Chain A
């Protein structure tokens, strides 16, 4: 149980800056998801917290104890490594038991057996305890790594893509299991992933990281509905958000958003108007609810043609070519479209997220008073 505070952490590897002035606070017992594309610095940040790497500058605190110069073994941190990091010379049982046999967490053999069998049952590894890691599939190895971290009650629980190599069905099951486990363990957890479903479903809060900088920290609703940057908005959602450039024009005392598609223009919602300030060029972030489609021409709709249709089981992802822009959105599965079929696209201003086109920063969306600060 610990509250983790990172203050202005910077880390460089040679000429490459892995972390730039990262400050982050993880509350006691919180489940924080560290989310970002490959190479963003997620694993580096975890290594800093675990003590595997030392920051070039900045401070790490667990509660009120400075941790910068504390050895990893004294931090009471459990970590699941992305490449499993199992001990190849030991059978699975000994791998899982390893933390309980170290001097710091010494337990008697009966206690060890009980604990190992408990975590093995949770992850479905009970039958494989006698095997060696080389005789396991990647998914099974990952579960062993997870077991090894779960077998003791650590201060801080760090998970580096712990279920990335499992198959989809097992991943879903493990996701629920992890969430439940974290609630029961009640220990501070940081979970690294590049899968947005995992991030959305697991995290109390999500920290989005790119190129060593934290772009936004917020609940899953915040990062989804009020993304601080266009980049964040693009990461979330199963079909990528559409960014439609528009001009803001003043007409009869109201602000109008005018897209480059002829006839597609609308008055900006009143509460958004206040937050726009004097930004003249905006990007309209449009997810599926912000888009309307019709087979017949209508006022405010623009003509496009179907570019691709991708069935996703209970729904379909449609990509429509509108004057050279590709617009993606989800339609019900029973709505059938053929390739190159004509479709008319309109906008629902209430669901549009406004971004500054120059800075790519969040400006406003309907139902919110002001833009978020990072």
Chain B
């Protein structure tokens, strides 16, 4: 009895120690970046914690250059892309889950296969297409290409959620006197919501962090934040403080989003829709 208690405690302690190390491992780069962002250029390399904090990096990034505009551009593109993914992906997922049609599995697989090729492989033909369609350097073009990043994942996750809902439940609602749209919004959507929220969030993060398409398919009018951050790695001078500020600004929306819907993220990717 005593021994069992001791071994249980040991497992618990080892687990905690592991967690502590993991937190240090994953959070320390962010803390280090935050510290650097408050240092002047001359203090970057020769101090660690004792330095005179300054906001000059922040003022430089926020007032000069186009970083704020890039941030807003990125927001527009990503929200647009996720909105398209959800609007198109949820009905597509429903159709793939519920209806029987020829080549159904092939269609589903083709959608997933968009994710197979590395972006760099398809970006040159895409560049040609964008140029001839006059989509180069436009919001429309960027949203169009960004929704391919998240939609396959969203369709596959939401589809499995729809498949978990018994067909009889829809039929029962129909017999109760509800129209198809009412059933969809009142009965089905609440059940797929965890999966939908989680996959939409993942889609947003993938879009937000996407680099290749932003680098190759747009230039001055529209510029994602990942590409804009690159400008701080100049050819002659390296402003590490400003790079740190750019990085922090870039990850803030993701961190806020993740914290807000953490609950859904964990549940949505681990459980099915209908338990028991």
Chain A contacts to B: CB under 8 angstroms: 47, 50, 52, 71-73, 75, 77-79, 81, 83, 85-89, 98-99, 102-105, 133-134, 145, 148
Contacts and interface: CB of A to CB of B under 8 A. Distances in A.
B248 to A, nearest CB: 39
A124 to B, nearest CB: 21
B105 interface: no
B171 A73 contact: no
B175 A72 contact: yes
A102 B166 contact: no
B174 A73 contact: yes
A133 B172 CA distance: 15
B187 A87 contact: yes
Contact of A72 (B166, B174, B274): B174
B182 to A, nearest CB: 7
A83 B168 contact: yes
Nearest to A71: B174
Contact of B177 (A88, A99, A133, A134): A99
Nearest to B274: A88
Given A85-B166, A88-B274, A134-B276, A73 B179 contact: yes
A75 to B, nearest CB: 8
Nearest to A84: B168
A54 to B, nearest CB: 13
Contacts, number: 66
Interface of B: 166, 168-169, 171-179, 182, 187, 190-191, 274-276
Contacts of A50: 171, 175
Given A89-B190, A134-B275, A102 B169 contact: no
Given A88-B275, A89-B190, A52 B171 contact: yes
A99 B171 contact: no
A85 B171 contact: yes
A357 B175 CA distance: 46
Contact of B171 (A72, A89, A104): A72
A201 B166 CA distance: 32
Contacts of B171: 47, 50, 52, 72, 79, 81, 85
Residue from the set B169, B190, B191 with the largest chain A CB neighbour count within 10 Å: B169
21 contacts: A52-B171, A52-B175, A72-B171, A72-B174, A72-B175, A73-B174, A73-B178, A73-B179, A75-B175, A79-B172, A79-B175, A81-B168, A85-B166, A87-B169, A98-B176, A99-B177, A102-B176, A103-B178, A103-B179, A105-B176, A148-B172
